[in-house]
Structure 1
Amino acid sequence: MALYEHIFIARPDMSPAQMESLIEDVKTLIEEKGGKTGKTEYWGLRNLAYRINKSRKGHYGLIDIDASADVIDELDRLQRLSEDIIRHMTVRVDEHVETPSAILTKKDDRRGRRERT
């Protein structure tokens, strides 16, 4: 089994609760197919670099995966068919990092600066 990071962008008109549910559905799918999931992160509603399907924003999610290529192929196929997912990308990594991602760390830094002033 190999290690992967899976990032996806969902429609902007979804609620954060729906996004959390979508992340749980993806985790369930991976575990049913024989893979394992590590940390999951919801990055919130963020601006896109360019318009996608007339949308300027999207909900971002990240999942660390330990699975075979067959599981990743099935996940890719289902997310291409899903109307809720705007874009997705799966990248193979050498090891999973247990600390929060750079996106979440950046948010925490901003909050700390606001509190100091």
Structure 2
Amino acid sequence: MPLYEHVFLARQDLAQAQVDALAENATAIIESNQGKVTKVETWGLRSLAYKIAKNRKAHYVMLNIDAPAGVVAELERQTQINEDVIRYMTVRVDELEAGPSVMMRKGDRERERRGGRDGDRPDRGDRPDRGPRRDRADFDGE
């Protein structure tokens, strides 16, 4: 059977439980039509590049699907009817990614780069690659 990646964006004012219910609903549609969902990833609440239906943010969810084309058509029809979904896109792929997707690995890289600290910025004294802090008075004579 063909392989697909289906990503949908849910409204920003939904709770995480409601977003999970949308993903379960999509999974139920696929499985009731002899398809199979191999992976569900919730990318979380992310900012949009531009407003969509008065939303500045959206909950992103990706489904990896192994199903015939008719199942995907039904999934898209049901998704289009749902008022909680503001955008969706289904792409046919040659093979599904094993392990976390690029979006999930991106979050891991950002946490690694911060050194495991959550929003904690180092002071100038913690950065050996920077010299001592210079005040405006240091530049007056130059």
TM (normalized to structure 1)?
Answer: 0.95
Name the structure with the higher strand share.
Answer: 1
Instruction: Render the CA deviation track for 1:88-117: whole Å, top value 9, x for unaligned.
Output: 000000000112111111111112222277
Per the TM alignment, residue 58 of structure 1 is displaced from its structure 2 partner at its CA by 0.3
d(CA) in 1 for partners of 2:20, 2:109: 24
d(CA) in 2 for partners of 1:106, 1:12: 21
Per the TM alignment, residue 25 of structure 1 is displaced from its structure 2 partner at its CA by 1.2
Question: Letter of the aligned partner of 1:73 in structure 2?
Answer: A
Percent sequence identity is 50
d(CA) in 2 for partners of 1:19, 1:77: 18
Which 4+ stretches in 1 moved above 2 angstroms?
A: none
Partner of 1:10 in structure 2? Answer: 10
d(CA) in 1 for partners of 2:66, 2:25: 16
Preserved contact between residue 12 and residue 57 of structure 1 (Cα < 8 Å): yes
d(CA) in 2 for partners of 1:88, 1:8: 4
Structure 2 unaligned regions, length at least 5? 123-142
d(CA) in 1 for partners of 2:97, 2:55: 31
Q: Secondary structure at the match of 2:62?
A: strand
Partner of 1:103 in structure 2? Answer: 103
1:71-86, aligned counterparts within 5 Å? Answer: 71-86=71-86
Question: Letter of the aligned partner of 1:71 in structure 2?
Answer: V
Q: Rg: which structure is higher?
A: 2
Give the number of aligned pairs.
117
Preserved contact between residue 12 and residue 55 of structure 1 (Cα < 8 Å): yes
d(CA) in 2 for partners of 1:34, 1:14: 29
Question: Letter of the aligned partner of 2:13 in structure 1?
Answer: D
Kindly report the root-mean-square deviation, in angstroms, between the aligned alpha carbons of the 2 structures.
1.2
Partner of 1:67 in structure 2? Answer: 67
Q: Secondary structure at the match of 1:18?
A: helix
Structure showing greater relative contact order (alpha-carbon pairs closer than 8 Å, 6 or more residues apart): 1
